[in-house]
């Protein structure tokens, strides 16, 4: 397992997510992402290329971010999703959802 601390940051319209996210640390990352989405108030690209792990809680977090963005009239486009995350999304019948936002 990777020991890279998870991080989410917003810069120039890109919300970057990096590090190892799992069930034990997803909530602070989710909360910070929600705060940044609300603060941005505009369409964002969500860069997933820095993820060090693949876990179902990441998909859950992305769905939560999407719901929040939708409530605010903001679009999220996911880029750089690791292949393992796309495969996990397919197992959860979310591959079309994830890829339609890339």
The CA distances from residue 68 to 30, 52, 59, 90, in Å, are 11, 24, 14, 23
- For residue 92, give the 3-state DSSP assignment: coil
Determine the pLDDT at residue 96: 81
Determine the pLDDT at residue 98: 78
For the segment(s) 7-100, the CATH number from 1.10.287.70, 3.30.750.24, 3.40.50.970, 3.90.1010.10 is 3.30.750.24
Determine the pLDDT at residue 92: 83
Residues of the chain with pLDDT under 70: 1-2, 102
Determine the pLDDT at residue 93: 84
Tokens for 3, please give them: 């020991």
User: pTM for this structure?
Assistant: 0.90
């Amino acid at each position: 397992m990777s020991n890279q601390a998870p991080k989410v940051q917003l810069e120039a319209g890109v919300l970057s997510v990096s590090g190892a996210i799992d069930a034990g640390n997803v909530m602070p990352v989710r909360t910070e992402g929600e705060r940044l989405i609300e603060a941005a108030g505009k369409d964002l690209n969500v860069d997933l290329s820095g993820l060090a792990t693949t876990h179902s809680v990441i998909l859950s977090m992305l769905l939560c971010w999407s719901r929040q963005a939708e409530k605010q009239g903001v679009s999220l486009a996911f880029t750089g999703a690791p292949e393992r995350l796309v495969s996990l999304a397919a197992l959860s019948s979310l591959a079309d959802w994830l890829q339609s936002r890339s």
